[in-house]
Chain A
Amino acid sequence: MLNSFTLLQAMNGIAARDVAAAGRLYISGDAKKHGGKRLFALALAAALLLGLGTAAYAVSRRIALKDGAFIFDGESYPTVSFEKTDSEPLRLGVWDLGEIPAGFSAVKSYYRGSEARTDYQNDKGETIMLLYQKPTGQVDSFINAAIASKSEVEINGGEGVVYVAEDGWTHVFWTAAERGIAMRLSVKGDYDAVKLAQSVHETGTAPRPDEETLLALHELGSWQADVPTGYEELISYGVAGDYGYIYRIYENAAAQELEVYYERSVSDLEGYVAYYRSGNSSYGAISLNAVTVNDCDGWLATSGDGEAHFIVWQNSEYNMTFRITADALTSEELLRAAQGTYLCE
Chain B
Amino acid sequence: MEDSAIIELYWQRSDTAISESERKYGRYCRKIARNICTTPEDAEECVNDTWLKAWNLMPDKRPTVLSAFLGSITRSVALNLIKAQNRLKRGGGETTLALDELAECVAGRADPQREVEERELARALGRFVGALPREEKQVFILRYWYLAPVEEIAKTLGFSTSKTKSMLHRTRKKLKTFLEKEELC
A binds B: yes
User: Which residues of B have CB within 8 Å of A29?
Assistant: 156
Taking CB as reference atom, which chain B residue is nearest A108?
Answer: B62
Considering only residues 1-16 of chain A, those with a C-beta below 8 Å from chain B are: 1-16
Q: Does B81 contact A (CB under 8 A)?
A: no
Question: Which secondary structure dominates where chain B touches chain A?
Answer: helix
User: Which residues of A have CB within 8 Å of B67?
Assistant: 20, 23
Q: Does A244 contact B (CB under 8 A)?
A: yes
Q: Does B116 contact A (CB under 8 A)?
A: yes
User: Which residues of A have CB within 8 Å of B136?
Assistant: 275
Q: Is B130 touching A43 in the complex (CB atoms < 8 A)?
A: no
Q: Is B131 touching A26 in the complex (CB atoms < 8 A)?
A: no
User: Which residues of A have CB within 8 Å of B163?
Assistant: 278, 280
User: Which residues of A have CB within 8 Å of B8?
Assistant: 45, 141, 143
Mask: chain B, 117-147; 1 = CB below 8 Å from A; 0 = not = 0110111111111110111111001101110
B129 partner, pick from A9, A18, A23, A27, beta carbons under 8 A? A18
Q: Does A245 contact B (CB under 8 A)?
A: yes
User: Which residues of A have CB within 8 Å of B122?
Assistant: 10-13
Q: Is A3 touching B2 in the complex (CB atoms < 8 A)?
A: no
A144 partner, pick from B12, B72, B76, B105, beta carbons under 8 A? B12
Q: Is A11 touching B125 in the complex (CB atoms < 8 A)?
A: yes
Mask: chain A, 6-50; 1 = CB below 8 Å from B; 0 = not = 111111111111111111011101010001000011111100000
Taking CB as reference atom, which chain A residue is nearest B99?
Answer: A4
**Known pairs A13-B122, A26-B152, A275-B133; A19 contacts B99 (CB<8 A):** no
CB distance from A6 to the nearest CB of B (A): 6
Mask: chain A, 65-92; 1 = CB below 8 Å from B; 0 = not = 0000000110000000000000000000
Q: Is B79 touching A266 in the complex (CB atoms < 8 A)?
A: no
User: Which residues of A have CB within 8 Å of B144?
Assistant: 8, 11
User: Which residues of B have CB within 8 Å of A8?
Assistant: 79, 95, 98-99, 102, 144
Which of A235-243, A298-306, A327-335 participates in binding chain B?
Answer: A235-243
CB distance from A238 to the nearest CB of B (A): 9
Q: Does B3 contact A (CB under 8 A)?
A: yes
User: Which residues of A have CB within 8 Å of B142?
Assistant: 22, 25-26
CB distance from B127 to the nearest CB of A (A): 5
Mask: chain A, 285-319; 1 = CB below 8 Å from B; 0 = not = 00000000000000000000000000000000000
Cα separation A321 to B69 with both chains bound (whole Å): 32
Cα separation A281 to B163 with both chains bound (whole Å): 10
Q: Is B141 touching A19 in the complex (CB atoms < 8 A)?
A: yes
Q: Does B114 contact A (CB under 8 A)?
A: yes
Mask: chain B, 77-102; 1 = CB below 8 Å from A; 0 = not = 00100010000100000010011101
B121 partner, pick from A2, A141, A245, A278, beta carbons under 8 A? A2
Taking CB as reference atom, which chain A residue is nearest B148?
Answer: A26
CB distance from A8 to the nearest CB of B (A): 6
Q: Does A284 contact B (CB under 8 A)?
A: yes
Cα separation A151 to B28 with both chains bound (whole Å): 42
CB distance from B142 to the nearest CB of A (A): 5
CB distance from A94 to the nearest CB of B (A): 17
Q: Is B131 touching A245 in the complex (CB atoms < 8 A)?
A: yes
Task: Give 3 closest A-B pairs by Cβ, nearest first.
Answer: A13-B122, A43-B2, A243-B131
Q: What 11 additional pairs, Cβ within 8 angstroms, besides A115-B4, A242-B181?
A: A1-B116, A2-B185, A3-B106, A10-B121, A10-B125, A19-B71, A20-B67, A22-B141, A26-B146, A43-B3, A117-B4
- The interface of chain B, by Cβ under 8 A from chain A, is 1-5, 8-9, 12, 14, 16, 19, 27-28, 31, 62-65, 67-69, 71-72, 75-76, 79, 83, 88, 95, 98-100, 102-103, 105-106, 110-112, 114-116, 118-119, 121-131, 133-138, 141-142, 144-146, 148, 152-153, 156-159, 163, 167, 178-179, 181, 184-185
Could you show 21 A-B contacts with beta carbons less than 8 Å apart?
A: A2-B184, A4-B102, A5-B99, A8-B79, A10-B118, A12-B76, A14-B129, A14-B141, A18-B137, A22-B142, A26-B148, A26-B153, A41-B2, A72-B16, A73-B19, A143-B9, A143-B14, A144-B14, A243-B130, A245-B130, A282-B134
